[in-house]
């Protein structure tokens, strides 16, 4: 190829060439256009390409090139466009990058691994019109001399680590049209000098740390079509002169600290299509000038403090597709929002709307997301909802809705989320729910549904969450529940369910939250639950009538954080396999019939976790006494009575013996007194006996002829000495001190 001396245009883009860039390309001395985009080329950019002195456009993007930039060192004076994007080029910009070249107009280096501060070498590229350094590792402050690039129309510095303040000299770049600085660490105030950029069309500063008020001078940028300040720390109010931006199409101010009302002048931005003011501290009512925003198709005001009724003028906004006014203080009727036939999403969650759900809401045939939860709505679900065949998300929970679940909703075959919790719905659960094959979340909890759980729910194979707690459901848990192999959450607590827990639940291998408490379930805990190894949030079987032993297989639930088996009739010992539940931080086994020793790892749980099990012992309960290699069981009432009787009997015997001894002592004393009158012969014998028996030397204590007894020992006197008791019998007792 190097022999094609006259070749001027070479386009090999979007092939599968691999290997390095051939050095022979440098021999194409007349080449003006070289495009190798979208191949698998690797290695460094050969410095020999500097010999292509006629080259005007070079595109090496979307390859696997590495190393540093080795171009512009000598002769590429005619180059106007250089595209090196989407490679793995490292290092910084060469110091002589534009030293001899003022013709470069377009430089695209985005999505590489270039680093260092903003390349001051680029400030020599005086003809530069488009500069893209996005998605690299540049850092530090932006230079105040940035305005040297006076011809720049597009400046893209996003997705780097630039910091510091935005230099006010940015206002001198009078030709700037598109300025992308998002996803950096720019802080401080937005300089008012930015208002001098009369040609500025797109200003993306989102995901920085900008603070202070939005300068009113910004509204002088009359060419602005898109403003995105999402995720900063702007304070104060929206500039009241925002209506001067007649060409504004997108206004994104979400997730700041803005306060005050929406300026009425906003209604004069008649080209506005997207208005995002969510996650601020805005307040007040919607201005009546909203009716002028005829091009508006997306408006998100959620997480603010807006209040009052919706202006009837909203009915005229026929292009509205997405409305999210959730988490505010709006009140009154939702009727003004029903003028758009193109409506696809309506979210009014957490407000104070009242009245019934308008049936003409069904006129929005493309509605796929309807959320009216946490309001004060009353009445039934309109039968006209059968027309909403595109509906995927229906959330009417936490209202005062009544009646049955309209069978017309069976036409909504695309439903993925069906949430009616905390209302006053009644009747039986419809079996047609089993036809909703796309259903992923079903929550009918806290209503007045009765009857059995329809077995047809087992057909909803994509169901992730099934919550029916706090109803009046009865009958058995259908074994078809095992068909819900994708289920993550099952909550059936506070119903009147009976029968045993179906063993088919073992097929719900992805479940991580299982609540069956406060029912009338009987039988034993199926050991198959031990196969639900993804159980993590909770296993709650409390307040039922379960019996039998706790299955040792529960020890396999090593991710489990909370286990509640309280208020049942469980028996036997607590299996030591439960000691493997190292993630457990809440345990309740109270009020059962458990016995034996607790695993030592349970000592850190409160006493209340085990109360109501009389035969259970071990920390934090009373310790168990070792007996025959096993821990001693708690004593029965009969055994306690027997022990008390034995103690009383023994005490009585001891008292009688002591009384007998005292009498004998008194008798001996009398004899000794009398015999002393006979000249002391007998007294001397007694003294000798004292020296012999009383407190003789230690070496005599183990003599075969003498025994020593403690006062509380039985029998009090050895049998073999009974016949030899004399006046010295008192000395047969060793007195402990």
Supply 419's token pair: 């949430």
Q: Is the pLDDT of residue 707 over 50?
A: no
505 Cβ neighbours under 8 A, 6+ residues apart: 481, 482, 511, 514, 526, 528, 529, 532
pLDDT band at 644 (very low <50, low <70, confident <90, very high): low
Closest CA to 240 of 255, 258, 228: 258
CA separation for the pair 70, 89 (Å, rounded): 11
Instruction: Specify if 281 maps to a domain.
Output: yes
Torsion angle of C-alpha atoms 687, 692, 698, 702, degrees rounded to 10? -150
Which of 355, 380, 403 terminates a domain? The answer is 355
Supply 357's token pair: 């759900």
374 Cβ neighbours under 8 A, 6+ residues apart: 349, 350, 351, 397, 398, 399
Contact present, 93 and 117 (Cβ < 8 Å): no
pLDDT at 329 (0 to 100): 98
- What is the CATH classification number for the domain harbouring 289? 3.80.10.10
Which of 306, 326, 355 terminates a domain? The answer is 355
pLDDT at 614 (0 to 100): 92
Mean of the pLDDT values across residues 694-722?
A: 34
Closest CA to 477 of 510, 506, 455: 455
Closest CA to 431 of 451, 402, 461, 446: 451
Q: Is the pLDDT of residue 272 over 70?
A: yes
Instruction: Specify if 242 maps to a domain.
Output: no
Instruction: Specify if 657 maps to a domain.
Output: yes
Mean of the pLDDT values across residues 8-33?
A: 94
pLDDT at 1 (0 to 100): 60
Q: Is the pLDDT of residue 299 over 80?
A: yes
In this structure, of 241-255, 414-428, 569-583, 687-701, the range with the lowest mean pLDDT score is 687-701
pLDDT band at 485 (very low <50, low <70, confident <90, very high): very high
Q: Is the pLDDT of residue 691 over 60?
A: no
Instruction: Specify if 566 maps to a domain.
Output: no
pLDDT at 718 (0 to 100): 35
Q: Is the pLDDT of residue 456 over 90?
A: yes
First to last CA, the chain: 118
Total structural domains within the chain? 2
Condensed to tens digits (0 to 9), the pLDDT of residues 87-140 reads 999 999 888 788 766 789 999 999 999 999 999 989 989 899 999 999 999 999
| Percent with pLDDT over 70 in the chain | 84
pLDDT at 593 (0 to 100): 96
515 Cβ neighbours under 8 A, 6+ residues apart: 469, 490, 491, 492, 493, 538, 540
Instruction: Specify if 699 maps to a domain.
Output: yes
pLDDT at 443 (0 to 100): 98
Three-class secondary structure of residue 133 per DSSP? coil
User: What is the DSSP-derived secondary structure letter of residue 655?
Assistant: H
> How much is the mean pLDDT over the chain?
87
Contact present, 46 and 24 (Cβ < 8 Å): no
For the chain, what is the radius of gyration of the CA atoms? Answer: 45
Q: Is the pLDDT of residue 606 over 60?
A: yes
Q: Is the pLDDT of residue 58 over 70?
A: yes
Q: Report in angstroms the alpha-carbon separations of 24 from 60, 66, 315, 355, 463.
A: 16, 19, 68, 79, 61
Mean of the pLDDT values across residues 692-701?
A: 34
Contact present, 248 and 218 (Cβ < 8 Å): no
Mean of the pLDDT values across residues 235-255?
A: 98
Q: Report in angstroms the alpha-carbon separations of 260 from 302, 434, 511.
A: 15, 49, 46
In this structure, of 172-181, 410-419, 518-527, 637-646, the range with the lowest mean pLDDT score is 637-646
Q: Is the pLDDT of residue 715 over 60?
A: no
Condensed to tens digits (0 to 9), the pLDDT of residues 369-388 reads 999 999 999 999 999 999 99
Instruction: Find where tokens 């099952």 sit.
Output: 490
Which stretch of DSSP H or E encloses residue 673? helix 637-675
- Whole-prediction pTM value? 0.80
Q: Is the pLDDT of residue 332 over 90?
A: yes
Q: Is the pLDDT of residue 10 over 50?
A: yes
In this structure, of 237-246, 608-617, 675-684, 716-725, the range with the lowest mean pLDDT score is 716-725
Domain that holds residue 279: 259-355
pLDDT at 652 (0 to 100): 74
pLDDT at 549 (0 to 100): 96
Residue with the bigger pLDDT between 681 and 617: it is: 617
> What backbone torsions phi and psi does residue 142 show, to the nearest 5 degrees?
-80, 135
pLDDT at 335 (0 to 100): 85
Instruction: Specify if 252 maps to a domain.
Output: no
pLDDT at 202 (0 to 100): 99
Q: Is the pLDDT of residue 145 over 90?
A: yes
pLDDT band at 316 (very low <50, low <70, confident <90, very high): confident
Q: How many CA atoms lie within 13 A of 82 on its CB side?
A: 26
Contact present, 122 and 97 (Cβ < 8 Å): yes
Supply 628's token pair: 């025959």
Residue with the bigger pLDDT between 9 and 730: it is: 9
What secondary structure does DSSP assign to 142-164, as a single string?
PPGGGGG-TT--EEE--SSEEEE
Q: Is the pLDDT of residue 270 over 70?
A: yes
Mean of the pLDDT values across residues 680-688?
A: 41
Q: Is the pLDDT of residue 639 over 80?
A: no
Instruction: Specify if 198 maps to a domain.
Output: no
Count of Cβ atoms closer than 10 Å to residue 673 Cβ? 10
pLDDT at 408 (0 to 100): 85
pLDDT at 70 (0 to 100): 86
Instruction: Find where tokens 């012992």 sit.
Output: 617
Condensed to tens digits (0 to 9), the pLDDT of residues 86-95 reads 999 999 988 8
Contact present, 410 and 439 (Cβ < 8 Å): no
Contact present, 506 and 483 (Cβ < 8 Å): no
Mean of the pLDDT values across residues 662-677?
A: 47
Condensed to tens digits (0 to 9), the pLDDT of residues 524-550 reads 999 999 999 999 999 999 999 999 999
Instruction: Specify if 46 maps to a domain.
Output: no
Which of 340, 355, 370 terminates a domain? The answer is 355
């Amino acid at each position: 190829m190097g022999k094609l001396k006259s070749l001027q245009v070479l386009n090999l883009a979007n092939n599968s060439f691999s290997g390095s860039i051939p050095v022979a390309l440098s021999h194409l001395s007349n080449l003006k256009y070289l495009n190798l985009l979208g191949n698998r080329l690797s290695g460094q950019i050969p410095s020999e390409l500097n010999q292509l002195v006629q080259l005007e456009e070079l595109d090496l993007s979307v390859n696997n090139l590495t190393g540093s930039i080795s171009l512009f060192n000598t002769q590429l004076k005619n180059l106007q466009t250089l595209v090196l994007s989407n490679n793995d080029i490292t290092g910084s910009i060469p110091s002589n990058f534009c030293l001899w070249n003022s013709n470069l107009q377009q430089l695209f280096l985005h999505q590489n691994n270039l680093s260092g501060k903003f390349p001051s070498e680029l400030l020599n590229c005086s003809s530069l019109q488009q500069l893209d350094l996005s998605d690299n590792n540049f850092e530090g402050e932006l230079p105040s001399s940035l305005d040297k690039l006076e011809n720049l129309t597009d400046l893209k510095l996003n997705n780097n680590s630039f910091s510091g303040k935005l230099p006010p000299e940015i206002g001198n770049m009078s030709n700037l049209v598109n300025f992308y600085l998002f996803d950096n660490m720019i802080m401080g105030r937005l300089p008012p000098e930015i208002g001098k950029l009369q040609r500025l069309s797109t200003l993306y500063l989102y995901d920085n740390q900008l603070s202070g008020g939005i300068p009113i001078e910004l509204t002088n940028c009359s060419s602005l079509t898109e403003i995105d300040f999402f995720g900063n720390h702007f304070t104060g109010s929206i500039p009241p002169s925002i209506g001067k931006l007649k060409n504004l199409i997108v206004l994104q101010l979400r997730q700041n600290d803005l306060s005050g009302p929406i300026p009425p002048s906003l209604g004069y931005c008649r080209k506005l299509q997207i208005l995002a003011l969510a996650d601020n501290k805005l307040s007040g009512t919607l201005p009546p000038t909203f009716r002028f925003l005829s091009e508006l198709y997306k408006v998100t005001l959620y997480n603010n403090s807006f209040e009052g009724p919706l202006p009837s003028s909203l009915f005229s906004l026929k292009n509205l597709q997405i409305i999210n006014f959730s988490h505010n203080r709006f009140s009154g009727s939702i009727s003004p929002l029903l003028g758009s036939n193109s409506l696809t999403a309506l979210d009014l969650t957490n407000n104070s709307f009242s009245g019934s759900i308008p049936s003409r809401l069904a006129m929005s045939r493309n509605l796929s997301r309807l959320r009216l939860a946490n309001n004060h709505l009353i009445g039934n679900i309109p039968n006209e909802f059968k027309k909403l065949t595109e509906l995927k998300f229906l959330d009417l929970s936490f209202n005062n809705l009544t009646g049955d679940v309209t069978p017309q909703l069976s036409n909504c075959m695309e439903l993925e989320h069906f949430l009616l919790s905390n209302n006053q719905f009644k009747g039986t659960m419809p079996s047609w729910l089993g036809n909703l094959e796309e259903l992923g979340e079903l929550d009918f909890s806290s209503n007045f549904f009765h009857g059995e759980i329809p077995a047809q729910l087992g057909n909803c194979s994509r169901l992730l969450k099934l919550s029916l707690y706090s109803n009046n459901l009865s009958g058995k848990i259908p074994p078809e529940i095992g068909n819900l192999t994708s289920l993550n959450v099952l909550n059936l607590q506070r119903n009147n369910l009976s029968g045993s827990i179906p063993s088919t639940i073992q097929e719900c291998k992805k479940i991580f939250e299982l609540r069956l408490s406060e029912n009338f379930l009987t039988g034993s805990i199926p050991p198959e639950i031990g196969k639900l190894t993804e159980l993590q949030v909770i296993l709650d079987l409390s307040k039922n009538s379960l019996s039998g032993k706790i299955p040792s297989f529960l020890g396999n639930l090593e991710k489990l954080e909370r286990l509640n088996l309280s208020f049942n009739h469980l028996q036997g010992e607590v299996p030591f396999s439960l000691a493997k539940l190292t993630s457990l931080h809440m345990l309740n086994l109270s009020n059962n019939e458990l016995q034996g020793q607790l695993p030592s790892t349970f000592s850190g749980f409160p006493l209340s976790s085990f109360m109501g099990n009389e035969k259970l012992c071990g920390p934090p309960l009373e310790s168990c006494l070792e007996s025959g290699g096993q821990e001693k069981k708690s004593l029965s009432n009969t055994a306690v009575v027997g022990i008390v009787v034995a103690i009383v009997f023994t005490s009585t015997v001891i008292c009688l013996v002591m009384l007998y001894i005292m009498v004998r002592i008194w008798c001996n004393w009398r004899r000794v007194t009398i015999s002393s009158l006979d000249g002391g012969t007998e007294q001397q014998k007694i003294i000798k006996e004292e020296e012999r028996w009383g407190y003789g030397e230690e070496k005599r204590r183990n003599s075969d002829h003498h025994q020593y007894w403690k006062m509380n020992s039985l029998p009090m006197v050895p049998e073999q000495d009974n016949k030899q008791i004399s006046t010295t019998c008192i000395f047969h007792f060793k007195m402990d001190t």
